[in-house]
């Protein structure tokens, strides 16, 4: 089974003229104007970008702005063609359902089974169980957890937990996947497996923004970047990111 066989955002969604995400001269909270460069970048539909920079430079804060958990100190963040400053509470909930989130710490619900964890977002979206259950089972099988659907997450290895988090993020067919430290704490083999899955998700048409925690992904020499100052937060195309051996 491949990610391409799983229904992903349709061609109509991909045909967005507007970028999925756009930052216009954004300053993160906690940064004083003038001290940090104002961040501007756009993510066209289907693009794959990577946030790089040292720990504490604001990678997670950028993801928080996109998933509407925070507001910028300055500048504007546009999501699905709307200025996020103009969104009401209902809009925020609706927009969040169009975003797949992989948290730095898995944040799995330990009292639920692997399957119930993966089914969280379609369930929240109000879809009937008979509609989403086969799809969730399919995506769990795709990430290699097809035989572990009825066990609690505590029984999974770190790599499996991360893949479950990925399955949960993708279960409602989001338009964009935000992955915060998706390979953090994993051994090379498990990390590579997760990265390959993310790559295939992007290959199927989902826009991806990833904030790796380590140096596995670093800007290749000569890579274009949204904030090109050394030691600062940078947004680069995944094609410009070098996978450290």
Residue 3 or 67: the one with the smaller Cβ distance to another protein is 67
Among 29, 82, 107, 196, binds another protein (CB under 8 A): 107
Contact range with another protein by CB under 8 A, out of 15-23, 50-58, 105-113, 232-240: 105-113
Among 15, 30, 90, 154, binds another protein (CB under 8 A): 90
Report the site for another protein in 57-76 (rule: CB under 8 A).
67-71
Report the site for another protein in 122-181 (rule: CB under 8 A).
123-126, 129-130, 133-134, 136-138, 141, 146-147, 149, 172
Residue 219 beta carbon to another protein: minimum distance, rounded to whole angstroms: 28
- Contact (Cβ atoms closer than 8 angstroms) between residue 99 and residue 174: yes
Residue tagged 């498990």 (tokens):
190
Residue 14 or 133: the one with the smaller Cβ distance to another protein is 133
Among 3, 26, 99, 241, binds another protein (CB under 8 A): 99
Binding of residue 32 to another protein (CB under 8 A): no
Report the site for another protein in 173-232 (rule: CB under 8 A).
none
* Euclidean distance between CA atoms 6 and 187, whole angstroms: 27
Residue 173 beta carbon to another protein: minimum distance, rounded to whole angstroms: 13
Residue tagged 């990390």 (tokens):
191
* Euclidean distance between CA atoms 177 and 2, whole angstroms: 18
Query: Under the rule (CB under 8 A), what is the footprint of another protein?
Result: 1, 67-71, 89-90, 93-99, 101, 107, 109-113, 115-116, 119-121, 123-126, 129-130, 133-134, 136-138, 141, 146-147, 149, 172
């Amino acid at each position: 089974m491949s990610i391409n066989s799983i229904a992903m955002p349709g061609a109509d969604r991909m045909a967005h003229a507007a970028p999925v995400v756009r930052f216009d001269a954004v300053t993160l909270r906690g940064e004083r104007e003038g001290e940090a460069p104002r961040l501007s970048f756009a993510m066209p539909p289907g693009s794959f970008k990577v946030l790089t920079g040292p720990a504490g430079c604001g990678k997670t804060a950028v993801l928080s702005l996109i998933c509407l958990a925070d507001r910028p100190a300055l500048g504007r963040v546009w999501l699905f063609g709307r200025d996020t400053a103009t969104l009401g509470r209902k809009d925020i909930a609706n927009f969040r359902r169009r975003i797949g989130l992989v948290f730095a710490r898995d944040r799995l619900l330990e009292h639920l089974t692997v399957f119930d964890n993966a089914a969280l977002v379609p369930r929240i979206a109000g879809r009937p169980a008979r509609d989403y259950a086969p799809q969730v089972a399919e995506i769990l099988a795709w990430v290699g957890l097809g035989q572990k659907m009825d066990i609690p997450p505590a029984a999974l290895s770190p790599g499996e937990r991360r893949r479950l988090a990925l399955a949960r993020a993708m279960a409602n067919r989001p338009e964009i996947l935000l992955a915060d430290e998706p390979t953090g704490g994993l051994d090379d083999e498990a990390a590579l497996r997760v990265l390959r899955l993310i790559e295939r998700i992007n290959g199927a048409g989902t826009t991806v923004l990833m904030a790796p925690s380590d140096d596995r992904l670093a800007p290749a020499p000569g890579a274009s970047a949204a904030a090109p100052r050394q030691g600062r937060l940078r947004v680069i195309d995944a094609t410009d990111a070098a996978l450290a051996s």
